Amino acid sequence: MIQINILSKDKKIYRGKGIAVTLPGKDGEFQILENHAPTFSLLKKGKILVIQTQKRFVEIPIKGGCSRVLNNEVIILVQQ
């Protein structure tokens, strides 16, 4: 499981654990799984897909932002 934190400048949008998160990267969509290499990425307009379990997920629309992955924690700063 990975810890996923999605924040805007005003509020916490999502905080919780999941098995994966799919992000709309500037160069294309990509997915973060457990034990992913450390990364920093720019995000474009699209949807973040948080996969909580095999049958549960959350979609969050964004206008852009950035993400950081380190030690099974994903921090995503977004514009909404």
The domain spanning residue 42 has which CATH number?
Answer: 2.60.15.10
Q: Is 68 among the domain residues? A: no
pLDDT of residue 80: 82
Q: Which residue range(s) make up the domain with 33?
A: 2-60
pLDDT digits (tens, 9 = 90+) for 1-60: 999 999 999 999 999 999 999 999 999 999 999 999 999 999 999 999 999 988 999 999
pLDDT of residue 25: 96
Q: Is 32 among the domain residues? A: yes
Number of domains in the chain: 1
Considering Cα of 51, then 27, then 79, then 45, what sign does the dihedral take?
negative
pLDDT of residue 19: 96
Q: Is 46 among the domain residues? A: yes
Q: Is 76 among the domain residues? A: no
Strand, coil or helix: 61: strand
- Please state, in angstroms and rounded to a whole number, the distance separating the CA atoms of residues 65 and 78: 4
Q: Is 24 among the domain residues? A: yes
Q: Is 79 among the domain residues? A: no
pLDDT of residue 54: 85
